[in-house]
């Protein structure tokens, strides 16, 4: 099954007509099963631009093309003009012969660069895909990015409810997600341990606002579910427009549960958001949790930040006392609550280096302070990224990094408290096959696999600011060596009930079985 994708035309604004004509010529000469445009046909959503696109530029395309609006199409009441000039802002295609279902959705908030899918649209994802047999190819199309993308600067303009959208995608085992928006192409594989999802961002075909050195591109995606293979290619239109460059080629099937003997390499307990303070700290929950942790065979306890409630001196003193109750090695990093107003002066005095490390026979762990003064949003920066690459390069141990701020959007939370440079950090991590990344934002536990890296976020072990019905929790991470690679068993332990909730079962090869650029 082949998909030909264009995005971000921006007709009427920074529009490059020459590149558009080149791209459309390639589209018209390419034999594909489906032709898709993922938004921003116009630049300002005005009548004049809709007149231009519908009377001059769309008629240049001699194929049937599926269209969804972008944020620029929704500007200036453009979402109403879209319906008048183009038609519905969503579509649903069911191809019984080829067993393909394609759902296109409007992800826009009028006059906003960021998007929101909304409860209704997310429910539509479940309605269209949840009960569809796995042999069907499930394709979801909308404008805004789901995962942060490199070379796009500060992480912004994403879906506000991106975490819920990602959860729906993984719950429904969607095979292919196609987005645009950020004017540069990108490909990630993502899974929660079940079916792999290919997330493809198309670059801009004709907007003069380009990213880095890619400039103008069109994209083609080939997926063979029977052979479990996929290829994503782009063509750079200002480079003679004659050669397809591979962005991704590989197997899209996840490894199954290991068979045969497994060697346990490490057991890690991940805690976060202890919130040591007068008002929000639940001492009963904390003491109960520590009793369980102290009885376990755990190699190390990793605290992913927000140790205190407000970084006051008495809270650091309480934290020091409470953390000394743990009879295992503990390493920790600060969260925003630990950094301001007094944390920048007190953190090292009570806890030592905010960029700690731990190493044993099987794991090498590096912690990083991702906090920015008096900000909820964090940043790692190029220097820290270079540091973890240099220190983990060439190691045959499980390479682990941890910091507070999330990279992957979390469900049931507004997508805002992430790293400012999340796109570049995510790309650095997955392109260099860092094994495991632990974060601690927003008190909500979750686990995902992106390419060949496992990402785990922690809930809260002892804060009264609880965001799940099951209450306070911590994560238990067991890493096994298998015949194929490594197997990660990730559970959330609920302190009040003693119940374990599986967060992920990820079986990974040491090197991802794809070609990627």
Per-residue pLDDT reduced to its tens digit, 330-344: 999 999 999 989 888
How far apart CA 193 and CA 454 sit, in angstroms, is 10
Helices (H), 93-176: 118-129, 162-171
- Residue 2 half-sphere exposure toward CB, CA atoms < 13 A: 9
How far apart CA 234 and CA 216 sit, in angstroms, is 10
How far apart CA 425 and CA 494 sit, in angstroms, is 31
For residue 502, the tally of other CB atoms under 10 A from its CB is 12
Whether the bond between 12 and the residue before it is cis, its omega within 30 degrees of 0, is no
CATH for 2-251 is 3.60.21.10
Q: What is the residue extent of each domain of the chain?
A: 2-251, 263-511
Average confidence (pLDDT) over 407-425: 85
How far apart CA 288 and CA 138 sit, in angstroms, is 44
322 Cβ contact partners less than 8 Å away, ≥ 6 residues apart: 274, 276, 286
Q: Does 263-511 match 2-251 at the fold level?
A: yes
On the question of pLDDT at 180 being above 80, the answer is yes
Going by pLDDT thresholds of 50, 70 and 90, the confidence category of residue 113 is: confident
Query: How much of the chain exceeds pLDDT 70, in percent?
Result: 98
Per-residue pLDDT reduced to its tens digit, 358-378: 999 999 999 999 999 888 888
On the question of pLDDT at 513 being above 50, the answer is no
Going by pLDDT thresholds of 50, 70 and 90, the confidence category of residue 37 is: very high
Measured over the CA atoms of residue 245, residue 247, residue 249 and residue 252, the dihedral's sign is negative
Measured over the CA atoms of residue 251, residue 257, residue 258 and residue 260, the dihedral's sign is negative
Per-residue pLDDT reduced to its tens digit, 435-451: 999 999 999 999 999 99
Residue that the structure tokens 């301001």 belong to: 340
Average confidence (pLDDT) over 229-238: 94
What's the order of all strands across the beta sheet hosting 229-236?
Answer: 65-67, 34-37, 2-6, 217-224, 229-236, 244-251, 514-516
State phi, psi for 218 to the nearest 5 degrees: -125, 160
* Helix (H/G/I), strand (E/B), else coil: 416: coil
Question: Topology of domain 263-511, per CATH?
Answer: Purple Acid Phosphatase; chain A, domain 2 (3.60.21)
Per-residue pLDDT reduced to its tens digit, 197-225: 999 999 999 999 988 889 999 999 999 98
User: How much is the pTM?
Assistant: 0.94
pLDDT for the residue 241:
65
Going by pLDDT thresholds of 50, 70 and 90, the confidence category of residue 517 is: low
């Amino acid at each position: 099954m082949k998909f030909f994708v264009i995005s971000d035309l921006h007709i009427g604004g920074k529009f490059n007509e020459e590149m558009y004509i080149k791209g459309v010529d390639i589209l018209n000469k390419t034999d594909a099963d489906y032709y898709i445009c993922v938004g921003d046909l116009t630049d300002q959503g005005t009548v004049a631009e809709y007149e231009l696109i519908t009377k001059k530029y769309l008629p240049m395309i001699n194929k049937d093309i599926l269209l969804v609006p972008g944020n620029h199409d929704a500007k200036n009441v453009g979402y109403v003009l879209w319906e008048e000039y183009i038609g519905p802002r969503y579509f649903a295609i069911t191809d019984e012969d080829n067993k393909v279902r394609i759902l296109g959705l409007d992800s826009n908030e009028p006059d906003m660069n960021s998007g929101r899918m909304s409860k209704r649209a997310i429910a539509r994802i479940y309605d269209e895909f949840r009960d569809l047999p796995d042999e069907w190819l499930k394709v979801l199309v909308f404008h805004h990015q789901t995962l942060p993308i490199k070379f796009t600067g500060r992480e912004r303009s994403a879906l506000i409810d991106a975490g819920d959208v990602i959860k729906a995608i993984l719950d429904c085992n969607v095979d292919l997600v196609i987005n645009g928006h950020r004017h540069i192409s990108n490909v990630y594989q993502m899974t929660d341990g079940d079916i792999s999802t290919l997330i493809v961002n198309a670059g801009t075909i004709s907007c003069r606002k380009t990213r880095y050195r890619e400039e103008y591109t069109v994209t083609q995606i080939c997926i063979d579910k029977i052979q479990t293979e996929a290829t994503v290619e782009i063509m750079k239109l200002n480079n003679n427009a004659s050669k397809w460059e591979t962005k991704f080629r590989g197997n899209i099937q996840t490894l199954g549960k290991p068979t045969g003997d497994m060697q346990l390499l490490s057991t890690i307990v991940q805690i976060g958001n202890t919130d040591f303070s007068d008002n929000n700290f639940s001492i009963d929950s904390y003491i109960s949790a520590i009793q369980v942790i102290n009885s376990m065979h755990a190699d190390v306890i990793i605290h992913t930040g927000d140790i205190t409630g407000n970084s006051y001196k008495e809270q650091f003193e309480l934290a020091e006392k409470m953390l000394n109750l743990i009879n295992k090695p503990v390493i920790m990093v600060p969260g925003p609550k630990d950094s301001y107003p007094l944390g920048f002066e007190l953190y090292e005095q009570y806890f030592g280096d905010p960029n700690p490390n731990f190493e044993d026979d099987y794991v090498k762990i590096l912690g990083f302070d991702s906090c920015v003064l008096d900000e909820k949003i964090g940043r790692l920066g190029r220097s820290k990224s270079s540091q973890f690459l240099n220190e983990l390069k060439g190691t045959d141990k499980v390479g682990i990094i941890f910091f507070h701020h999330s990279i992957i959007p979390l469900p049931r939370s507004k997508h805002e408290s992430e790293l400012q440079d999340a796109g570049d950090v995510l790309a650095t991590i997955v392109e260099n096959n860092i094994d495991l990344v632990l974060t601690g934002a927003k008190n909500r536990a979750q686990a995902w696999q992106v390419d060949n890296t496992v990402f785990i976020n922690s809930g809260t072990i002892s804060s009264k600011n609880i965001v799940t019905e099951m209450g306070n929790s911590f994560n238990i991470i067991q890493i096994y060596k298998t015949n194929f690679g490594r197997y990660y068993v990730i559970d959330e332990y609920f302190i009040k009930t003693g119940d374990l909730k599986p967060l992920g079962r990820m079986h990974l090869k040491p090197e991802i079985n794809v070609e990627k650029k």
